Chain A
Amino acid sequence: MKVLAVSLLRLGDILMLSPVLKGIKSQHKNVELHVLINSQFSFVKTLMPWVDKFILFDRKQMQKGMGEVDRQLFEPLDRLSTTIDYLNNEKYTKVFNLTHTRLSGILCGLINAEEKLGLAFNDNHTASFGSRWYSYLNEQVGGGSDFTAHMTDVHYYGAEIPYNSHEFDFVLDKKGEDEAVALIGDLKNIICVQAFTSDNKKNWGLDRIAKSLKLFQYMNPKYSIFALGAPNESHKVSELIKVCDKEGVSVKPAICSLQGALGILRVSELLLTGDTSIKHLACGTDCKIIEIAIGSSDYRKTGVYRKNNFIVTSTAGCAPCMHSQSCIKNSHICGDRIEPEAIGLLMHQVLNGSNKEIRILAQEYADSLRIHKTYFNHSGFWYARDLAKGFDTKELEKVLNLSSWKLLNRGEHLKLIGEYGSESIKLNATIQQVYPELKSLVKQRFITDLESRITQEGESLLNLKLELQKLAKKKIVNSEEIKRNYKLLESELSPKLASELVVFTEKFNGQTQEHFGQIRKYSEAMQSAYDRNQIQLKLVRTMMSQRMENL
């Protein structure tokens, strides 16, 4: 079977989704896996030699062809047609769109295949998703919902591969090994820093990094510190080293290829990084990772995808901000809030301390930053726990929400006997796994609180569902009722859909046929919200009875 995975975002995204690619490859015997990537990242080939073929999408040349006056527009058009013909000649059985952009959606629509998973635009330019997880990605995650699954998880479920291995199978070649040896020799006790990200907003700042490293080096003099950088970042790395020198910290440069970086990370004990591709590369090693997720980086979607690592975020209300736009604040508040002292101490504790000590550190600095620990929880999702915060209904809601999406997308609610019992066992196990320090009775109280809230919300959702049914019957809807429940709609649909719905119901003139598409969209979203509420209610009640049995 020949399958194609389309990954047309940036380097970090290709690396982050590597476990999904591996899952696709391992799912069936005799799978020939081809991956379509942007041509500027062709060097990832050596990291994933188990991919049968990387096909390069010449985005740069096409974009160049359209941005220069002396070049014909037919040139990029011709280049594009050639690429699509090439892909169609491969005769794929299955296409996975791991990109979720309009561009990739149109492209996947033009590729002939028996099955397509992920966004693809059909002949009449309507979107198809192939899996409900990709509709979830489009509507819930894209709509700005607070409850969001990690992107890798969405693709795991969307691509219908078993959620049991989270393996980053990056292969280190001889060249990379030699490069690493040339840079670090046979040194032991190494830690690495990747100070530069693709976006200024995500950079924490050289002074702050230097100060944290100073504290770390003072407490851990036996460690050698290396500053990682790509060849085009060498001047930036020199700058970092100068700043560190001023602070009296000894940092050595490690300008290398991605393969070289993999070689170095394999023998390193800790990586301090921003939201970078190096972070995802380190997931393929045993090196511990501390990620500083500031600016537009949203750790809930793209955080370090490996268990028992740490993500530091700021308490600034504006983070995470929009991608590809400059910071709108007078100063870089999210970066400013993260104190270098806290990072230096965290680095020390991650290497030497226990979970308890890291939790105390998180509580101590809770006013300015959050320290999250990563898990793969028992209910089958990546999860980052804020270590300063105890267990509460909000946290319980997070795990319950994702489980309800999983059961809804599997159509469990339509079965005569759904798998609520086993899912509830997993949920109870998740709470125990992530919050082992909490007493059982306290957990029980939160579960009881949540049960009563879900019941109330269920009644409101049912009323709203009935109200929306009026739209199809050409009746005017009570828009005040919709507005009154705006907060609920925002959390159960998505902020984007909730605001659309309010505007629509206010202006609705009884012309059902004219707005058929929109009415259908809102009705389906409301039905899905109500179904999920009912699933959550069953889950939480089953959890309660399971806990009672255990008392």
Chain B
Amino acid sequence: MSDKKETNNLKESLFRLEKAAQKIVSTRGYTKEVENIKMLNELIREQLINENISYSTRKIR
């Protein structure tokens, strides 16, 4: 991604989504909504490729 502004927006979205997931987990437990949010987090991480450091991600392909 070349656009710095968009990168910042994505990072901001990632932060907000992580916060939201934490809040749901603390109030309602591990629900399907949390899984959906985690998926969106992964979508952002795959876009911000360098943050995608875990070995169960695309790097092994």
Contacts and interface: CB of A to CB of B under 8 A. Distances in A.
A73 B40 CA distance: 10
A523 to B, nearest CB: 20
A416 B7 CA distance: 58
Given A63-B43, A66-B13, A138-B56, A301 B61 contact: yes
Nearest to B13: A66
A103 B42 contact: yes
Interface stretch (A22-30, A74-82, A353-361, A459-467): A74-82
A66 B61 contact: no
B46 A103 contact: yes
B54 A141 contact: no
Contacts of B54: 102
Contact of A9 (B10, B32, B56, B61): B61
A102 B61 contact: no
Interface stretch (A123-131, A284-292, A399-407, A448-456): A123-131
Contacts, number: 99
B60 A77 contact: no
Contacts of B44: 63, 66
A142 B60 contact: yes
A425 interface: no
Contacts of B32: 110
B38 to A, nearest CB: 5
Given A67-B47, A73-B17, A127 B56 contact: yes
B40 A67 contact: no
Provide the main secondary structure of the chain A interface.
Answer: helix
B39 A106 contact: yes
A100 B61 contact: yes
A325 B50 contact: yes
A514 interface: no
B23 interface: no
A81 B40 CA distance: 11
A125 B58 contact: no
Contacts of A80: 36, 39-40
A3 B33 CA distance: 25
A101 B46 contact: yes
A151 interface: yes
Provide the main secondary structure of the chain B interface.
Answer: helix
The bracket for how many chain B residues form the interface is: 20 to 34
A59 interface: yes
A143 interface: yes
A172 interface: no
Instruction: Output the residue of A301, A324, A325 with the most chain B CB within 10 A.
Output: A324
B48 to A, nearest CB: 10
A109 interface: yes
B42 A138 contact: no
A389 interface: no
Given A69-B9, A73-B17, A325-B50, A100 B39 contact: no
19 contacts: A13-B61, A62-B40, A66-B9, A66-B13, A66-B43, A69-B9, A73-B17, A81-B36, A103-B39, A110-B35, A110-B39, A121-B35, A124-B30, A137-B60, A142-B60, A143-B55, A324-B49, A324-B59, A496-B55
Given A102-B56, A322-B59, 9 more contacts: A66-B40, A67-B13, A101-B42, A101-B57, A103-B43, A106-B39, A110-B32, A125-B30, A301-B60
Interface of A: 9, 13, 59, 62-63, 66-69, 73, 76-77, 80-81, 84, 100-103, 105-107, 109-110, 119, 121, 123-125, 127, 137-138, 141-143, 151, 301-302, 322-325, 496
